[in-house]
Structure 1
């Protein structure tokens, strides 16, 4: 028997305990979305869900960060530029591998006209992991001013909730994505490249020659 949120194309044997967890996740998620749509703040958040989706899209962040590296040649930025780029690539790879292995189907939207998108797998949420990872790095590894903490927390929370409200993910997908984002942040703590190493990496990736720490042609 086919169950929501579980791929059955290849007759994969899913442990009974996991089946129960996934069924419960489906039921709770559907109930949450139904109740959320009756609540003004969450209904309003769903209206902005597409914008939040774009704000944490992997391609948007990767292309945007590469542009940031290209446009802003400042030695004080080298460390965060290099480490954040590595973190973004790590997140994309980790999420892609887990999704390919787990292959949990995305929820079937209550509104059948809603677009599902090209990525048909749901677990874990890449948007939730990426938002959590970015916030983790900006707050703990390369700290921004404390005045930016509330907006970062609000952004991460809004992205996570929007993935459920937009019916792109189940609640378990989002919570797992956030957990993975924290683990990726901890991994980055261990491999965090120094200022000099970051400068060397940028130099090796550039056609320009360095002179006294600055690039010139």
Structure 2
């Protein structure tokens, strides 16, 4: 049964990619798939978020800064473990990756899980302005669809990634550190977050 589901997933994914050649919106997503890939890459998000924490020293941001950092680390660990356990190969164009590279595995999509998790946090846990909801959801949708169109993943990989991202978001809503705890964590990590500290800037 599992083999049939996976085979059906491959066929549907291939039809979706073939269909993108004749639909302008999908063709545009495929063209910009590399940019969308970078916009949700784990290393880019992790490095970018650490930079954000370092540059913006505001008590109003401490809670989001700490919890989102933990969420990003959680997502990287969860996806790495699942990929190592499931070991589903990527679509054929991606199977030429260097042997031993963990990125050669397809299930689940880390980009999809990360995008869904970030959107969940910014909409449901620590809501941003409603003005940002449409572009945020459009970004998540575009990232997910582009993973299939760029032949990095199959449709089932992306759907699983979105589901995992939502579950990670739900987990973070339970774990969510308070403002005071978040400030304490940042203070312990950097003297520059401590008002009046020796190295405060």
Q: Does 1:69 align with 2:53?
A: yes
Cα separation, 2, equivalents of 1:162 and 1:116: 19
| Distance in structure 2 (CA, Å) of the matches to 1:68 and 1:35 | 39
- Do residues 29 (structure 1) and 17 (structure 2) align? no
Q: What is aligned with 2:107?
A: 123
Q: In 2, are the aligned partners of 1:46 and 1:166 still within 8 Å (CA)?
A: yes
Matches within 5 A, 1:1-217: 17-109=1-93, 118=101, 119-208=103-192, 210-211=194-195, 216=200
Deviation for aligned residue 1:211? 3.8
Q: Give distance in 2, aligned partners of 1:46 and 1:85.
A: 30
Q: What is the Cα-based RMSD across aligned positions, in Å? A: 1.9
**Is there any run of 5+ residues in structure 2 with no aligned partner, and where?**
none
Task: Report the Cα offset of residue 105 of structure 1.
Answer: 0.1
SS in 1 for 2:92: coil
Query: Per-residue CA shift, 1:112-144, capped at 9, x if unaligned?
Result: 9x9858510000000000000001101111100
Q: Deviations over 1:81-111 (max 9, x none)?
A: 00000000000000000000000000013xx
Q: Structure 1 runs of 4+ off > 4 angstroms?
A: 114-118
Structure with greater helix percent = 2
Distance 2:24 2:96 in 1: 23
How far off is 1:20 after superposition? Answer: 0.7
The more displaced of 69-78 and 202-211 is: 202-211
Structure 2: distance between partners of 1:210 and 1:50: 39
CA distance in 2, matches of 1:115, 1:69: 37
CA contact (8 A) 2:57 2:193 kept: no
Aligned equivalent of 1:13 = none
For 1:210 and 1:72, locate their aligned partners in 2 and report how far apart those are by CA, in whole Å.
Answer: 13
Q: Distance in 1 between matches of 2:129 and 2:147?
A: 28
Give the number of the structure whose alpha-carbon radius of gyration is greater: 1
Taking structure 1 as the reference length, the TM-score comes to 0.86
Give the TM-score taking structure 2 as reference length. 0.93
In structure 1, what is the Cα distance between the partners aligned to 2:6 and 2:193? 55
Gaps of 5+ in 1: 1-16
